[in-house]
Structure 1
Amino acid sequence: MDAIRNIEKPYTVAERLGPLVRRVLARNPSPFTYTGTQTYLVGDGASLAVIDPGPDEVEHLDALMAAIGDAAVTAICCTHTHRDHSPAASPLAARTGAPVIGCAPLTLDDDGPRADAAFDPTYNPDRVLTDGEAISGEGWTLRAIATPGHTSNHVCFALEETGALFSGDHVMGWSTSVVSPPDGDMTAYMESLQKLYGREQDTVYYPAHGPAVTKPRQLVRGMIGHRRSREKQIQRQIEAGLTRIPAMVAQMYKGVDERLHGAAGRSVLAHLIDLERRGLVQRDGEDWALLA
């Protein structure tokens, strides 16, 4: 929290970010939400969409309603169902009469320490968008881009008129995405990064947390490289005789607050599961070994 204490945080106001796009920042800053969840309003005409309505907090809902004004809300869209993203969907739908459209519902009790929010059991969409499906309103079109990995139900939304992509938690400029098994899946995450890297039409990413990404393909390429470097580091740890995750984490995350080591271990586990699927490592109980 110290790192974000002095960053300007314009809560309760709608900020213009670009053509057709405004942002309202929720007052839920934390080590995994940065300055808070960014709810996006898409559209400048008589109808608009709301992306990632955020936490069910009266202040945030009131700010969204003020920003919406007299416009009709065509859809309330969620990128995924962590509790910092989707709980406001239902109360906002009640206030506006808008349908909840976007990712599939998912509630899961994880089996390890988390570095992000738990799942939202209240999320109940009126319609689930499949990969490539679109919704539209006056002057705007949002197309769903399935990007599983951070969660199995994660979806990005491409604003076709401007080249903007709402990247949720899949790609953020301030931090790498958490990938925590059993629902977080490194294999799917890497495939989704490659999918976004192939989309040359996207010129800016608006993530759910942190600043806009103005060189998205460059960032995604770097993220892919970072993850590949991390998996090689894990393989080197095993080769050096560190066969259990806590020992790997202690070596790989020297200088990192030990309170975060449990969550770091989840990321290491996600990489190991991916390496196991690719026939590069095998496990025996809590121990991991390289395969020739």
Structure 2
Amino acid sequence: MTAYADAVTDQPRFDFQPDERGGVTVLRDGHPQSHVDLHDPELLVFEYIAQLAIGVDLLPPGPVGVTHIGGAGLTLARYVQHTRPGSPQIVLEPDAALTEAVRRELPLPRNHRIRVRPQDGATGIAALRDSAADAIVLDAYDEGRVPANLLSPSAVRHYARVLRPGGLALLNLADEPDRRHLARELATVTTTFPHAVVLALADVMKGRRFGNYVVLASDATIDIDEIRRRATRLAATTTVRPASALRATAKPFTDEDVVASPRPPELGAWRAR
């Protein structure tokens, strides 16, 4: 294991832990951030990454332009490069030290077109030109929470502006079993994107515990039956539902009242409370 120390506390800030399968888990402050297998980029160990990949796979064949908000181990960017060689990708990752360590410990493949910019998501997405991407992937967490400025109506409108017609916004969100925050965010997203589908592990979707929800949103119709077919191939049982079934009568966030996603419970206490 290689550990990189924080300059102030002199304590490990992020680690790289190999596993018996030949992959490596990237940890930040002791919390798993990514899993990377340099020999098999299609091995997606984290369930939500595999769910996000379903969205990528729905795009038309060939190279695609993808903007990632949040980088960590660059797992999904590596997957896109492997399955769609030559795809131009932008990764907005403000932690330059982490990116440097990832590049050193887990080198990117030759001839890749992955460009990492040391910018936070809100700043980076606002600077991108119109119709620049086929997909935008939001997978950014700060102390376990999706920042409010990446969930606001202004942010969602930027996602729509940067996407090409028919493109997909792929959002990795998280919430408590009551899903109150998710419902308001889905209401916010569907104000701009008329079509949206949600994927989650079965026990998360049943409201049994805190967990991740992956949202696929677009200005074009999304084939939910095809997503369900693809979800059956995942290692973990995944449920797929239209966003309308989860947002109910929730009111969209405004730029003034939007808040970060709920803080996750301590590991080992993720059952419904």
Query: Considering the TM-score relative to the shorter chain, is it more than 0.5?
Result: no
Bigger fraction of residues in strand: 2
Q: Which has the higher contact order (CA 8 A, sep 6+)?
A: 2
TM-score for the superposition, normalised by structure 2: 0.37
The structure whose Rg is larger is: 1
